[in-house]
Chain A
Amino acid sequence: MSTPVHTSTRRPRGKRRIGAHAFLIILAFYFVIPIWWLLVAATKDTAGLFGSPAFWFSGDFAFVENIAGLFEHQGGIYWRWLGNSFLYAFTAGAGATIVAVLAGYGFAKFRFRGSGPLFTLILGSVMVPLTALVIPTFVLLSDYGIINTPWAVILPSLLNPFGVYLMRVYTQDAIPDEIMEASRIDGAGEVRTFFTVVLPMLRPAVVTVLLLSIVVTWNNFFLPLAVLTDPELLPVTVGLNRWTALSNAGAGGEQVWNLITSGAFISIVPLILSFLFLQRYWQGGLATGAVK
């Protein structure tokens, strides 16, 4: 930093920009390279996976064969898994969001007795270890005979305390009391006030909570691992893990490395795309959570 004083207003700044951009490129490289690897690997057959450079395409493009393989292996069960993931993530995500929007509004705009301690309790529940919930949930669901059904994954996934927190914080800022008062004075009941006045103003937060809830269920591994044993019901995360364990342990016939890589690649595309297209929403939503 021995730049003469009179040029110091310009040159260090330019240098710093270059340094900063170099830093960012390295960082971006680190975060993207595994995904790039997966994209490349999805186009290789098993021989190519072992025998060609890891970060570049091999001679023959086997992506189509891999897709065909996913349709053939174990009767195309991969697509069942993918469908299950969609089913679980969207039902649980939508349900959790509806519940969180209502609760967030209730906590933000109504002072009822006990609401403060109750909200603290809900926030504190984030600390409960998953095993402490999954083990008794497993036993209870077995008792009621809904173990090993889609409900065993969907119902417990409706619980999303963080969604309630985000909705509460957002509602507090986005909905002025005056608007609710005005609507009430106009003779609208609480239900109509909520649906016609409040809900439209909450749309960005609703999209955020919906997206985050879907992601949580889509990514869930612990719960389905515990409550599902029927291979037909597994979500794609548990299914692919099962294939990997078999391929690592098993003989040649069970080694389906090319199907694992192409299946994994296909399974991450929908979420990455929705994050890219909905970035306006989740960035705002996470900001809400961050600033409070």
Chain B
Amino acid sequence: MTTQATELDPETSRRLATSGSLLVRRRQRWGWLFVSPFLLIFALFLIIPLGYAFRMSLFTSTLAAGTEFTGLANYTRAFTDPLFLEGMLRVLAYGAVMIPTQLIIAIVAALVLDTLTSWASKVTRLLIFVPYAVPVVIGALMWSFLYSPRFGPGATIFDAFGLEAPNLLGPDTIFFSLVNIVTWQWAGYYMVVIYAALRSIDPSIYEAARIDGANGLQTALRIKIPMISSSMVMVVTFALIGTLQFFTEPVVMQSIAQGSIDAAYTPNMYAFSLAFSYSQFNYASAIAFSLGILVFIGSFLFLFLTRKQSGLK
């Protein structure tokens, strides 16, 4: 990613060669020292739990036989478990709708904000970002109130026209209701990231484009978007990882949209309820790991396919 391209003159490199190795070794030790507190936490709360979860996933515990080693049996079970597979397909469907929606809103908003310098545009930029500062739980609570046929404004508005309000919490509509919550919560964050990338483009390029006769739309599509493609890749990667792990919003909506969201609605919810409602820690770990493998494959594929845009190897 970053190469320190320092050209050394012959004199310096000769000096470095003679006194270097000791200095370099001492520097290396300091590097490790600075990094070590993080590494300790990384080991304690990531590596060890992951290793432990993997170990758990290889065992099966039953009342009759106790805990016994069953190898990859839990994984075969997971990848043939309709509840897990349906949940997986569901989060993929969410990703297919949610990620483009958020990305388009974020890009259009960032492009428009980038062309304006008025105070109104500054205020808007802040307002669009505000949902990011709202906890996901509270965001989902607010929207579920707004969707609710009992308190929501929807009911009042439709009543006024003598129509029956659509049930936004029913099994068919809950999908879009959830898409809306996630878009509301995250589009502003993505917008700020993309906006920052747009600001870092050297404006003299626009001048050149204008002289060549490009209009605003052409500048946006042919110059700005290609130049921010690496931030877009970053945004989509985050959105993808987040969507495959969909959890908090459906959990919060569960009690309000009764019957529309079951305990295996997403793979994360399924693993959570297996572990904490049914104490099936072994199988829950296998589900969590299977999800992790799919997240890894998904993000890796995406980064591989977009390697040109992102500038990564």
Contact = CB atoms under 8 A, between A and B. Distances in A.
Given A275-B129, A290-B194, 7 more contacts: A16-B115, A17-B116, A20-B112, A34-B146, A111-B27, A127-B295, A177-B4
Which among B35, B52, B231 has the highest number of chain A CB atoms within 10 Å? B35
Contact of B284 (A32, A127, A135): A135
Contacts of A55: 153
B133 A283 contact: no
Contacts, number: 294
A290 B197 contact: yes
Given A103-B37, A248-B256, A286 B123 contact: no
Complex A-B, nearest 9 residue pairs according to Cβ-Cβ distance, in ascending order: A110-B31, A106-B34, A287-B196, A103-B38, A112-B31, A54-B153, A106-B35, A132-B288, A136-B49
Interface in A9-41: 16-17, 20-21, 23-25, 27-28, 30-32, 34-35, 37-38, 41
A240 B231 contact: no
B2 interface: yes
A272 interface: yes
Nearest to A41: B145
A164 B151 CA distance: 44
Interface residues of B, number: 105
Contact of B116 (A20, A260, A275): A20
B216 A16 contact: yes
A5 interface: no
The main secondary structure of chain B at its interface with chain A is helix
Contacts of B289: 132
Given A31-B184, A237-B138, A245 B255 contact: yes
B258 interface: yes
The main secondary structure of chain A at its interface with chain B is helix
A279 B200 CA distance: 18
B292 to A, nearest CB: 5
A129 B268 contact: yes
Contacts of B115: 16, 20
Interface string B244-277: 1101100110111010000000011001100110
A31 B128 contact: yes
B141 A244 contact: yes
Contacts of A109: 31
A122 B216 CA distance: 41
Interface of A: 16-17, 20-21, 23-25, 27-28, 30-32, 34-35, 37-38, 41, 49-50, 53-55, 98-100, 102-103, 105-107, 109-113, 115, 118, 122, 124-140, 155-156, 158-159, 161, 164, 172, 177, 190, 194, 215, 218-219, 221-222, 225-226, 237-238, 240-241, 244-245, 248-249, 257, 260-261, 264, 267-268, 271-272, 274-276, 279, 283, 286-287, 289-292
Which among A27, A103, A107, A156 has the highest number of chain B CB atoms within 10 Å? A27
27 contacts: A17-B116, A20-B112, A24-B112, A24-B113, A27-B105, A28-B128, A34-B146, A35-B131, A54-B146, A99-B37, A102-B35, A102-B37, A106-B33, A128-B295, A130-B247, A131-B245, A132-B49, A132-B50, A132-B288, A132-B292, A139-B281, A155-B45, A177-B4, A241-B141, A271-B134, A286-B193, A291-B197
